[in-house]
């Protein structure tokens, strides 16, 4: 054992983020979804014991394996001493005692299978998307209620109520945490991908007023998608396209902010900071995504993100073409706004303004930001007016500073949070 305890305070939170959800998933698969709180309690108690035990005896050579062993023993102790096991749980566990014993093992295969099952449990359409994301953050990623509230710019009690309602809905549903079949995958795959997609976007375009990017959310979304593509049953072209999209977007994360956390616009980013490894992963998964003759929104968005990793102006006609397809497939304000920006890059701001005459999103900060950009060289007064509206509508301090900088460059004044 390693008797150096100085890293315990940093190691425990790191392991909690990595291993808590794995332990919960494996134990929930054994106990049944209706007893998920039991699995979570055992997982939490495991980390409490690690904190106290390691402080005295030192950090074990394999901390994760130590956690799995303690969790397994705690689960067995719980089953032995609880009348609940005889009256309810035992009747729900199928197979021999040997099979049940195997389910307590924390092999890589069992952990991956259990987490995959939990993804499909959490992404149950019985709950609205916002609740699915909250449940995903808590159950799949090990986020606290406070962390989830921060991500959603909501208060703790609201998130607690949302999670409680979501859990009640999950428990009353008939989904069994045993194994996935093709019918269940087909029925829920769309909801699963959408939830993970929204989770990634919450990190990439964080609505937290103090943090422009939540890299932890992006990383968790990629980890969950990787579980999908590594399983034969869930390795769909859409899942590969989503992972490609995330890889391309994540490759530019380090270049999107400066050392002060301030936002850096795409065209001002230092390309030396773009992660070439993640770009290559993006190309790899994009190739797999187009192996089948299926085109989803994830394929189109991945293609757009792919073109954004290339230099020069030759990419903009390609990006515009992809946005034209995307807007026909799924209309949304952000798609319209992004398409208009690409249109301006191809045909100029004056022509883009004509395109925008039929569009009005008065409460959307990105809409006014785009209009400010389009008017900048044509009508400075109009540009400043739209930028000021964008400034008032965004809650992100990082975005406020970018918009304020544009106003000042146009000769206007802007008040922004320091």
Q: What is the per-residue DSSP string for 96-143?
A: -HHHHHHHT---HHHHHHHHHHHHHHHT-TTS-HHHHHHHIIIIIT--
Contacts 24+ apart (CB under 8 A), 223-226: 224/115, 224/119, 224/136, 224/140, 224/196, 224/199, 225/196
Q: 98 pLDDT exceeds 50?
A: no
Residues 6+ apart with CB under 8 A from 322: 300, 303, 304, 307
Q: 220 pLDDT exceeds 80?
A: yes
Residues 6+ apart with CB under 8 A from 59: 1, 2, 4, 5, 7, 8, 11
Q: 261 pLDDT exceeds 60?
A: yes
Radius of gyration of the chain measured on its C-alpha atoms: 24
Q: 83 pLDDT exceeds 60?
A: no
User: 338: which 2 tokens?
Assistant: 């992004």
Q: Quick one: DSSP state of residue 234?
A: T
Asked if 248 contacts 302 with a C-beta cutoff of 8 angstroms, the reply is yes
* Confidence band for 97, pLDDT divided at 50, 70 and 90: very low
* Confidence band for 312, pLDDT divided at 50, 70 and 90: confident
* More confident: 417 or 60: 60
- The Cα–Cα gap between 305 and 278 comes to 12
The top-scoring range by mean pLDDT among 26-35, 99-108, 194-203, 276-285 is 276-285
**Nearest CA-CA partner of 232 in 95, 399, 113:** 113
pLDDT given at position 210: 63
Beta-bridge mates of residue 263:
257
The top-scoring range by mean pLDDT among 172-186, 253-267, 276-290, 398-412 is 276-290
* Confidence band for 99, pLDDT divided at 50, 70 and 90: very low
Residues 6+ apart with CB under 8 A from 5: 54, 55, 58, 59
Q: Largest Cα–Cα distance in the chain? A: 77
pLDDT given at position 177: 63
Distance of CA 146 to the CA centre of its chain: 17
Q: 72-94: b or e for each residue (b if 16 or more CB lie within 10 Å)?
A: bebbeebbeeeeeeeeebeeebe
Average pLDDT on 56-75 reads: 91
Map residue 263 onto helix, strand or coil.
Answer: strand
The proportion of the chain whose per-residue pLDDT surpasses 90, expressed as a percent, equals 39
Q: 232 pLDDT exceeds 80?
A: yes
Other beta carbons less than 10 A from residue 15's beta carbon:
17
- The Cα–Cα gap between 371 and 359 comes to 11
- The Cα–Cα gap between 95 and 111 comes to 19
pLDDT given at position 418: 43
Give 150-185 pLDDT, tens digit per residue: 767 678 899 999 999 998 888 877 666 667 788 888
């Amino acid at each position: 054992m390693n008797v150096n305890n100085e890293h315990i305070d940093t190691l425990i939170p790191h392991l909690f983020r990595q291993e808590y959800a794995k332990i919960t998933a494996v134990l929930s698969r054994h106990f049944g979804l209706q007893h998920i709180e039991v699995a979570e309690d055992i997982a939490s108690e495991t980390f409490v014991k690690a904190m106290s035990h390691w402080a005295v005896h030192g950090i074990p050579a394999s901390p994760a394996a130590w956690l799995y062993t303690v969790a397994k023993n705690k689960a067995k102790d719980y089953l032995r001493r609880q009348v609940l096991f005889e009256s309810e749980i035992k009747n729900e566990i199928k197979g021999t005692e040997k099979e049940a014993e195997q389910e307590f093992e924390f092999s890589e295969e069992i952990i991956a299978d259990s987490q995959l099952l939990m993804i499909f449990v959490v992404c149950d359409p019985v709950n609205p998307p916002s609740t699915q994301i909250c449940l995903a953050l808590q159950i799949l990623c090990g986020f606290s209620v406070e962390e989830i509230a921060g991500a959603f710019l909501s208060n703790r009690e609201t998130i607690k109520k949302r999670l409680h309602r979501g859990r009640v809905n999950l428990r009353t549903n008939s989904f069994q945490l045993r194994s996935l079949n093709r019918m269940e995958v087909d029925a829920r795959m769309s909801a699963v991908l959408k939830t993970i997609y929204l989770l990634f976007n919450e990190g990439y375009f964080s609505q937290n007023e103090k943090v422009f990017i939540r890299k932890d959310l992006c990383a968790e979304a990629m980890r969950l998608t990787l579980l999908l593509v590594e399983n034969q049953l869930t390795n769909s072209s859409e899942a590969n396209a989503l992972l490609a999209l995330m890889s391309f977007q994540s490759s530019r994360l380090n270049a999107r902010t400066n050392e002060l956390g301030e936002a850096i616009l795409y065209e001002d980013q230092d390309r030396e900071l773009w992660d070439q490894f993640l770009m290559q992963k993006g190309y790899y998964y994009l190739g797999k995504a187009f192996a089948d003759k299926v085109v989803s929104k994830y394929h189109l968005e991945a293609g757009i993100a792919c073109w954004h990793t290339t230099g020069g102006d030759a990419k903009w006609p390609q990006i515009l073409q992809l946005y034209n397809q995307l807007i026909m497939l799924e209309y949304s304000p952000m798609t319209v706004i992004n398409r208009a920006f690409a249109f301006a890059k191809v045909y100029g701001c004056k022509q883009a303004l004509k395109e925008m005459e039929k569009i009005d999103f008065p409460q959307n900060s990105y809409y006014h930001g785009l209009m400010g950009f389009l008017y900048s060289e044509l009508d400075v007064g109009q540009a400043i007016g739209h930028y000021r509206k964008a400034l008032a509508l965004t809650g992100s301090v990082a975005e406020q500073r970018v918009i304020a900088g544009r106003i000042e460059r146009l000769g206007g004044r802007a008040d922004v949070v320091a």
